[in-house]
Amino acid sequence: MSKDRDNEREHDEEKNDDKQYKNEDGTLTTRQGHPVRDNQNSKTVGNRGPTTLENYEFLEKISHFDRERVPERVVHARGAGAHGYFEAYGSFGDEPISKYTRAKIFQEEGKRTPAFVRFSTVIHGGTSPETLRDPRGFAVKFYTEDGNWDLVGNNLKVFFIRDAIKFPDVIHALKPDPVTNVQDSERIFDFMSQTPESMHMLTFLFSPWGIPANYRQMQGSGVNTYKWVNEDGEAVLVKYHFEPVQGIRNLTQEEADSIQSKNFNHATQDLYEAIEEGNYPEWELCVQVMSDDEHLELDFDPLDDTKLWPKDQFPWIPVGKLVLDRNPEDYFNEVEQVAFGTGVLVDGMDFSDDKMLQGRTFSYSDTQRYRVGANYLQLPINQAKKKVATNQRGGQMSYKVDNDEGQNPHVNYEPSTMNNLKEAEMSGKPHTPYTEGEVKKEAIDRQNPYRQAGETFRKFKEWEKDELIKNLVDNLIPCKKEIQEEMIAHFKKCDEEYGRRVEEGLKNSSSADGSDQDSTHGGPAGATKTEEGVQQAEEHGIPSDPY
């Protein structure tokens, strides 16, 4: 009986301890928990004398403020995000989905998995306008029962290049000039004119598809080719596509310019307000499947990121829906610090030999370790919902040890006889692809850089073609003659009408204004009359007296 009373007394003391630690009256404190009694004035000698060094409250506050920003993402810096869930359909068309993958997230109809999505622009800075011509990022973190799965993609389904060794080059060409710090269309087309595989992506980027109206009404795509693996260790190649239930909307350059003059945060505001009002955006996740071989019957390599898989040969099969129903509570902690990696796969998924995927798999997670820190996966937005147990220790900003219950805290290695973590049992036969060949640097065989770009052009509606030609002409006008001629030649190989219309547009523009095209500099992608804008600011600026 006395033992029961002791237990009750200990429980009461615990409750009292919890109560004394609570801050029920909303008192402002320091990060050390000290009540702040004067948040308006620094400690000085007299009310106007020098500030003293023992201003702890001020020093803590200002030193944290100095460090409020982690390094900005090199790409995808401008972002917005939201929480939601993925709901599986539990099938693959008329077939059980287990025929293709053992990933638990897909198996059960109605099964919901928490998710977080980050939308972004690619090239421009963290506070840049959301109306700029630029691919849009569409990255999803699924918090599955087998750990996190990251699907890191874009709104456009193809990319500029097919080998990750060229990634720094294409991004450098799209980023601002290292001397002037201005994005320059001449630099962009200088690179692209020497990279024929970029024609397909350029056809999309300079069409209305290059400026989505908002994040809710744009597509998402995994872009890379992945694999699904079933219980028997058999694999198929897969591509992922998110289709917005809200429909798809894109902008012309003129419409984007008009919107930018009114609101350069329009897409972030649109997403936040829609969710706040209960108008939850939704996407259906569709998957294309292809047998895991070279597919020599195709005139392109299925691992080539510059190509689409034809829908008539490889139909889109819906496997679930993605719904966003909750806004972030804090932008920095969630949207800015969320970290994605193409290597973050769960059981039932695997990598293909897609050269872009192979390179991204190292680069993305390595970037987050540099940008956020070695322990970025301990942050709540990145942490798996599944219990994490690892022998990894230390590193900057580690604030806990990911031990399992009952684990011997003295043992941070494996194997061990002293009650430490042990390997998991196999969930199915391992996928063991066979490969042989010479180790060498060599391009893929079936490159075919023009056919799909031409098909995409011919599928465009007339107004989309008109917009594409206008945007290309406007951005090629400042380029050197040699670059213009190279690009015209590429476009003609895509489609004769395509190249001819660009060529005629450049001739008409040159004869209309009589300008020497070689003497000017290009401006940002999509922008026109950039030099006129500089002069207008100087001529129309209103004189003011100094104060």
Per-residue confidence band for 9, with pLDDT thresholds at 50, 70 and 90: low
- Rounded Cα distance, 426 and 439, in Å: 31
pLDDT confidence of residue 18? 65
- Rounded Cα distance, 131 and 265, in Å: 8
pLDDT for residue 260 is more than 50: yes
Cβ burial 65-95 (10 Å sphere, 16+ → b, else e): eeeeeeeebebbbbbbbbbbbbbbbbbbeee
Chain position carrying tokens 């011919």: 458
Residues 239/222, Cβ–Cβ less than 8 Å = yes
Integer distance in angstroms from the first to the last C-alpha of the chain? Answer: 83
pLDDT confidence of residue 39? 87
pLDDT confidence of residue 519? 42
- Rounded Cα distance, 429 and 212, in Å: 43
pLDDT confidence of residue 16? 52
The secondary structure of 430-492 as a DSSP string is: PP-------------S----SHHHHHHHHHS-HHHHHHHHHHHHHHHTTS-HHHHHHHHHHHH
Query: What are 95-139's pLDDT values in tens digits?
Result: 999 999 999 999 999 999 999 999 999 999 999 999 999 999 999
Closest CA to 485 of 463, 500, 503: 503
Residues 322/86, Cβ–Cβ less than 8 Å = yes
Which 8-state DSSP code applies to residue 315? -
**Top-confidence residue, 221 or 440:** 221
Polymer length in residues for the chain? 547
Structure tokens at 356: 């872009």
State the catalytic residues. 76, 154
Mean pLDDT of 178-200: 95
Per-residue confidence band for 17, with pLDDT thresholds at 50, 70 and 90: low
pLDDT confidence of residue 517? 45
pLDDT confidence of residue 69? 81
pTM equals 0.89
464: which residues sit within 8 A by CB, 6+ positions away? 207, 208, 209
Residue 419: how many other CB atoms lie within 10 Å:
13
Which 8-state DSSP code applies to residue 212? B
Residues 521/478, Cβ–Cβ less than 8 Å = yes
pLDDT for residue 52 is more than 70: yes
- Rounded Cα distance, 363 and 164, in Å: 9
pLDDT for residue 75 is more than 80: yes
